[in-house]
Amino acid sequence: MAAVLDTFRLSGRVAIVTGASRGLGADLAVALAEAGADVALVARGDTTAVAKEIKALGRRCGTVAVDVGAAGAAEKIMADVTAQLGAPDILVNNAGIIRRAPFLEFSDADWDDVLNVNLRAVFRLSQRFAAPLAARKAPGKIINTASLLSFQGGIRVVSYTAAKSALAGVTRAMANELAAQGVNVNAVAPGYMATDNTAALQADPVRNKSILDRIPAGRWGTPADLAGAVIFLAAPASDYMHGHILAVDGGWLVR
């Protein structure tokens, strides 16, 4: 039996992180490298700083400049990552967008854009990532980024709530089919994290106070709070976990 700490190491693994240029994605990519993985950064934005951090850790780093919601993005990601680093065996579906408006004023464009990036792109990339692993009977890990709005309704974010609620169900459905193929599919559900996506909420004194009053931990989360959960789900330590949605929320859901 392996020493317990060895089951959290990712040496020899190749991980893909989408939305890796900043925020949660950037920090998670570096954390995966700290655990021993080589990491492919997928993003529309500049990944130079993140790549420099990963290489300073002695890990290899690949980059794929693409919008995950664009046609053909999944195929490009898989081809480029394999060419740069070899066949990937960890996928962190982190990329996401959010649009805010009252339900009665919510536009078709804001509905379609969010569902495309937050749900359809995850389905397509996960399918193309898992297929070669299943074909050669190799183990793999898919970690989706769900949300507290996978469990709740939210306010003024109907398309985001729809996408994240669906993603929780898709995570379970994928797990049902891929577990027997040796691929673990789970998700993390971050709570209120201090990122660009929540900047408007943090800046609103009324909403900020109402959020903090509800969180037992009494603070906004940080990317570092999420890193341990993602490493766990990416590592052999979680090999018997399938279809789980792991909330990292400062206690929000139990309040």
Note if 160 is an active site residue.
Answer: yes
Q: What secondary structure does DSSP assign to the chain, as a single string?
A: ---GGGGG--TT-EEEEES-SSHHHHHHHHHHHHTT-EEEEEESS--HHHHHHHHHTT--EEEEE--TTSTTHHHHHHHHHHHHH-S--EEEE---------GGG--HHHHHHHHIIIIIHHHHHHHHHHHHHHHTT--EEEEEE--GGGTS--SS-HHHHHHHHHHHHHHHHHHHHHGGGTEEEEEEEE-SB-SGGGHHHHH-HHHHHHHHHH-TT-S-B-HHHHHHHHHHHHSGGGTT--S-EEEESTTGGG-
* Given the residues 129, 160, 232, 252, the one annotated as active site: 160
The catalytic residues are 160
